[in-house]
Each structure stands twice: as structure tokens, then as C-alpha cells.
A = this chain, B = another copy of it.
Amino acid sequence: MTDFNVSCPIPISDYPTVMLAHGGGGRLMHSLITKMFTSAFENYLLSEQHDGAVFPVRAGRMAFTTDSYVVHPWSFPGGDIGTLAINGTVNDLAMCGARPLYLSAGFILEEGLPMETLWQIVQSMRTTAIQANIQIVTGDTKVVDRGKGDGIYINTAGVGVIEHELRIAPSTVAIGDAMIVNGDLGRHGMAIMMAREGLSFESEIESDCAPLNADVLRLIDAGIDIHCLRDLTRGGLASALVEIAQTAQLHLQINESAIPVREDVRGACEILGLDPMYVANEGRMIVFVPQEQAARTVALLGDSARVIGQVQNHQSRGQVTLRSLIGATRIVDMISGEQLPRIC
């Protein structure tokens, strides 16, 4: 990759904000794409400037996924909408057990978005894509009139290759499996909440936003028989577990005392009346593995990983139960909507 110029490549004096014409298919759009997107995301496939990217594949299995990002505000401690747009889709591919290869990027810009804001987001995408070892190879830019958007929405879709024989899916989960989270919960949602409401506590809560592909591939390379993976985004740990329990028709039991939540996050949740089990994360996942591989899995995932429960041989299938700190057991349900809108 050649040297990268960090000043905004569109002259701000001429175009301080995004205009409708930047999405119009003419010279201005062409200039935005070539000067900003193609140069920041520099790679051979993108530079072809065709209607799509063409690449060679080997025989095997591939994964394909998409997410749109509408987070508000667009910037928060620990990341921004650009960081999210890369990590979120990379993580969806990782949850399929795939090695992420290529991303598409679709921008829906609101007329009047400061050009410097767009440039900052594009730079975040560039940096995060390099960290996650993925290339942005095709894209699209639309501009909507003022008042018909919220600055910027981004969609990314991703393709990846599956280089193993595991079948990672809820239907593979088995009685006795250990459930492991790779770190403390609730930080992304609380970071957004604090940024949105202008709240501050003694310490700043930073989003946990991070790519998970390296962690997943490390487990696979080490021979861990992963049964299921799910990232703990909208709806948090609770919603992910309920979905898996219902799809697999198994009973999942977790221990409240084992669920890692940082003290400042727990405190902020208490003040705002939120339950960390339902708060969104962007760098956290639940991993289902055979019980006998649990300790090795935790060791491979690092110091912050914890076994939080086990798949039970229990009559009430399709349910999740929580053993509380005082030993009582209660059913964990999906909430109807969510605690916080526009978290990702």
C-alpha cells in the first residue's frame, strides 16, 4: 500500500458539505469516488471501477452476510460508524466460521453532511479494514435530500471462505456443551448511551468494538470443535441465547456470578435502569464447545474469557435459565423491542 495522505482529498473550500450532485452519477460523484473512496480503500479490485468486483475462488464453502449501520451519534468513545461498519460485518462472517475476504460499502449520505466528517469516517473504515485484514472491493454512493437521512448510513456486505469441515450452527449445539464469552459485557451500548445523552461518569466507558475473526480462526486452527458462535450485538447476551435455545430446542443454563461485567458498566446500567445482559456489544461473542474443550478454549481466547454456563438435559427445551447470585433460578426472555434504539 502506498503512502496515504491524511488531509481531506476533496477541497473543503469548494465543497464544505455533501451535495445532492455528489450522488448524481456525474462528474462530482466520480470525483468523490475516485479521490476519496478509491484512494482510501486502495486495492486492485476496486481500482478497476467496474460495476462489481471480480475475484478467483477455490472450490469449497463461502459465507455471505450484510448489515446496515445507523448508529447515533456517529462517533462515540472507542469507535465511530466507520469502525462499526467494518467490524460488524467482519464479525458476522467470523460467526459463520469463515475467513473474511472482501467487503462492499454502500453509503447513504444526507445532503449537508460535512465533507470532513465523511473523510474521518472513511479513514476509520480504512484503518479498521487493515486491522481486520479485509479489503473493500466494491461500493455505492447515494445522497438524499436534507431532512431525509441522519448524516450518514452505511451498509456493508461481506464474503468469506470456510476452510474447515465444522458445521457451526445452532443445530450442532449438544447437551453438555460449555458456553463461553470472550470478555466483559455491555460496554458498547453504554458507550453509545453516554455519548448520546452527554452523560459522564468518573471513568469513560469505551466501546468494545473489535474484529473477532482472528480469535475464531485461532480456535479452529487449534482444533477446537466449535458447535455454535454468535456475536452479542442488538439485544445482547440474553437475546442471542434465547434465539439459539429456540432454534436448537435445547435448555441453556447460565450463572449470573460468571457473567463478566465491569464495575463502571454495572454502575451506569443501574443508574439508567438497564440490564447488562440485554445491552449490545460489538466485540463480544458466545462460543459453544464440548465441555472437555472448555478450558483450552478459554485459554485460547485470553484472560477476559469466561465459561458462563452449560447446555442442560432438561425437560423445558427452547428455554434459557439464569442461576442468580443467591441461588434462585429464573427464566431469561427476549425483550419485546430493545433497551436502546440505533445502537449499531
Interface residues of A (CB under 8 A from B): 19-30, 48-70, 72, 91-93, 95-96, 98, 102, 104-108, 137-140, 142-145, 147-150, 153, 155, 157-159, 162, 169-170, 230-231, 233-236, 239, 243, 247, 280, 334-338, 341-342, 344
Contact = CB atoms under 8 A, between A and B. Distances in A.
Nearest to A56: B61
A235 B57 contact: no
A52 B27 contact: no
A61 B45 CA distance: 13
Contacts of A21: 336-338
- This chain: copies in complex: 2
A194 to B, nearest CB: 19
A57 B59 contact: yes
B63 A52 contact: yes
Contacts of A107: 68
A20 B337 contact: yes
B106 A19 contact: no
B51 A138 contact: no
10 contacts: A27-B335, A27-B337, A29-B338, A30-B334, A50-B170, A51-B93, A51-B96, A51-B230, A54-B98, A67-B140
Contact of A155 (B68, B148, B170): B68
A49 B247 contact: yes
A21 B234 CA distance: 11
